[in-house]
Amino acid sequence: MLGILAINVTGFWGPSLATFSPTIPHSSPGSEWWFALSFVLFEGKMRALFTLLFGASMVLFAQAAERQDADPDMAQVRRLLWLMLFGYLHFALLWWGDILFAYALCGLGALVFRQLSPLQLLGIALPFYALSQGVEALLDLPGILTEQAVLAGTAPAAEVAQQAAMMGRIADSLTQDTAILNAGFVEAIRLKLGQSALQPLTTTLSTFTETLPLMMTGMALLRLGMFSGWSQKRLALIAAFGIGLGLLPTLLAVQWLMAHQWPPRAMFAAIEHGMALPHLLMSIGYAAGLVMLFPRLRTTAFGLCLTAAGRCAFTNYIGTTVLMGAIFSGWGLGLGPELPRQWLPAFVMLGWIAMLVWPRWWLARFGQGPLEALWRRLALPRPKSPHPNRR
């Protein structure tokens, strides 16, 4: 959640396409270093890690349902349908960048494979992920070459017109998003539903080939014991190789993109599909490293704060939207158009502090985060109490 905010903060501050490039909606002195850093460390990796953990949570939830003598599949369906509703409300009422709706729909797909063995899950998920993302990346390549030819002044008129049309679509998107960002609460809802009421569904369809296999991979890794039974040596090797192998192509990509002034079509391709394999490698490396370090951190003050923040991830996810919306959007302080992009790291730090401070206090008194408790109650009702003693 902390890493996801480092990416999402740009989408809270400005138009949605600003998350793809430091030159959208315009260049700002000093903003490139933050974009490059977040691209290398967080972009795609945090989303992949969160998706892996969501898949693992599906296994844990099924086990919890079985302990309460509930049908795990029906409980999971209820859980995901409620998440779908929460996600759509998050989109409609607060922010265009919701991922909960997509997670709910893809989770229903992952549920079909729940009974497979871990190796069967990996045998389906990883080839599907690599093939689908690789094909998408290859399909993006002609557009990147066209863009480079246009920028170099060597493209024919048809390709120049094609590039101009894309830039026109970008301008239209910026205009629409800026109007929503600057609008009041009710007007922003009206604009979103009027312009893109089906956006959560289209987002799901466009990210399905990433989200579903990563959920299945997370289910497999949990059942293989990665989060509880692997040795420190194995975890260290996976962390080193995963982060190392993913980091090298990421650094090369950001170097090329920066040298070419962040060309928009290349940026879209890199973030959506082109860096999928490095994202996966680094996210698994991050996961192994965190599991390896957790026993040493869990009793420290910082470790206790991280653990509590993780147990309140759902509330923190929605809460950061409310906090950042109150700062940047028109229904809040409206500072989005006023603040330069290079100030965004300060608001990331603010969000991190907020996510780390309140959960320990809350959990000490209530045991679960507020949205976590509501979601669990809706998905997995408490078992019926035995009949009261008759007198």
* C-alpha closest to that of 324 among 308, 341, 336, 314: 336
Q: What local confidence, expressed as pLDDT, does residue 382 receive?
A: 66
pLDDT in tens, 241-271: 999 999 999 999 999 999 999 999 999 999 9
Query: How many CA atoms, within 13 angstroms, populate the side-chain half-sphere of residue 258?
Result: 15
pTM of the model: 0.93
Query: How many CA atoms, within 13 angstroms, populate the side-chain half-sphere of residue 117?
Result: 3
**Lowest mean pLDDT, pick from 218-227, 356-365, 376-385:** 376-385
pLDDT in tens, 13-62: 999 999 999 999 988 888 899 999 999 999 999 999 999 999 999 999 99
Q: What local confidence, expressed as pLDDT, does residue 384 receive?
A: 54
pLDDT in tens, 214-245: 999 999 999 999 998 899 999 999 999 999 99
* DSSP percent split of the chain into helix, strand, coil, nearest 5: 80, 0, 20
Distances (CA, A) of 65 to 115, 227, 366: 15, 20, 21
